[in-house]
Amino acid sequence: MENSLLLQPMVALILWTMLIWLWMYVTRIPAMNKAKIDSANLVGGKGGDLDELLPPEVQWKAHNYNHLLTEPTLFYAICVVLILSGQDYGLNLTIAWVYVGLRVLHSLVQVTINRVLFRFMLFSLSSLCIIALAIHAAIAVFH
Amino acid sequence: MDIAILAPAAVLIVWSLIMLFWMAATRFPAMAKSGADLAKAPPGGRGSDLEGVIPDKVNWKSHNYTHLMEQPTLFYATVVILALVNAGHGLNLYLAWAYAIIRIIHSIWQATVNLVNVRFMLFIASTVCLLIMATNALWATLF
């Protein structure tokens, strides 16, 4: 089978997530050293515990990384449904790229200025893309 | 379609459910011991409200279960992409097995000893596997 073009936005968002993962550690590890956290003997604990110890801008990277592992999981599932049902071209392909573009912008806002209003607007717009894709997927599999 | 690479994904899904049972099997007795009563719990409580209420070691299982619902979702998407583009063999297949196995070791570590620096190393090792798979997926879908 010819590779579906819809696989491209999926992979793009996966790699973007890993880039935010890298951004998280590049800022987190120096901040942990600066906060004098004895990581050699640290037992237990979660990344979220660092919210109380590290500067907010550093944790914003982690917040966004976590965020990228919540709603986008639906995006991946819907893309697979669209590919397997042969609806992986045209408008759906455009919407998928728009979703990825909006999520990249959302990441950039959250890890830098993090104005909640902008973040919310970008998140709402990207969610509309998910809703549209999900409706198309529903039509494809139930119709 | 390269079916073989779906096996490590299925293994990790089953492992995640084993962690769910491990979490439940330790959490409920610990809740009973701490005097928490599910029947009398106020509405809206969540698992994380048990932090500090039941022993940390019990909560570690839950931390890991949550962890398994994060980055592995990218792993599943990447595996499906690689399977669909017939790239689920050779190095990608080995990396997928390595990812699943390292994540299982990471789980056992987090649920028992949980020294953070070792946990971090295991997480980095599994992430490197995923990063290479994701890059290969990008390569396979773009060209």
Q: Cβ–Cβ of B77/A10 closer than 8 Å?
A: yes
Any B CB within 8 A of A131 CB: no
At residue B45, the pLDDT reads 84
Residue A50 maps to a domain: no
Q: Cβ–Cβ of B74/A15 closer than 8 Å?
A: no
Residue A37 maps to a domain: no
As for the ipTM of the complex, it is: 0.84
CA A43 to chain centre: 29
The single-letter DSSP state of residue A35 is T
At residue A12, the pLDDT reads 97
Mean pLDDT in residue range B65-76: 97
pLDDT value at B38 more than 80: no
Q: Cβ–Cβ of A18/B114 closer than 8 Å?
A: no
Q: Tell me the chain B residues in contact with residue A42 when contact means C-beta distances shorter than 8 Å.
A: 115-117
Residues spanned by the domain of A133: 7-26+55-142
Closest C-alpha among B29, B90, B19, B83 to residue B55:
B29
The helix (run of H) or strand (run of E) holding residue B60 is helix B56-68
Residue A46 maps to a domain: no
Any B CB within 8 A of A3 CB: yes
Reported as a pLDDT band with limits 50, 70 and 90, residue A21 is very high
pLDDT one-digit tens code per residue, A82-104: 999 999 999 999 999 999 999 99
pLDDT one-digit tens code per residue, A32-69: 999 999 888 899 999 999 999 999 999 999 999 999 99
Residue A123 maps to a domain: yes
At residue A136, the pLDDT reads 96
Alpha-carbon dihedral B85, B5, B102, B19, rounded to 10 degrees:
110
At residue A1, the pLDDT reads 55
> How many other β-carbons are positioned within 10 Å of the β-carbon of residue B23?
21
Q: pTM for this one?
A: 0.90
pLDDT one-digit tens code per residue, B108-126: 999 999 999 999 999 999 9
At residue B44, the pLDDT reads 83
- Could you tell me if A14 and B77 are in contact, meaning their C-beta atoms sit under 8 angstroms apart? yes
Sketch out chain B's domains with CATH numbers. 3-28+53-142 (1.20.120)
Radius of gyration of chain A from its Cα atoms, rounded to whole angstroms: 18
Residue A42 maps to a domain: no
Would you mind telling me the total number of residues written for chain A in this entry? Answer: 143
Q: Cβ–Cβ of B135/A46 closer than 8 Å?
A: no
Any B CB within 8 A of A42 CB: yes
Mean pLDDT in residue range A113-129: 96
**Sign of the Cα pseudo-torsion (A33, A36, A38, A43, in order):** negative
3-state SS, residue A2 = coil
3-state SS, residue B54 = strand
At residue B67, the pLDDT reads 96
Mean pLDDT in residue range A2-30: 96
Counted domains in chain A: 1
Q: Cβ–Cβ of A44/B117 closer than 8 Å?
A: no
Residue A45 maps to a domain: no
Q: Tell me the chain A residues in contact with residue B80 when contact means C-beta distances shorter than 8 Å.
A: 76, 80
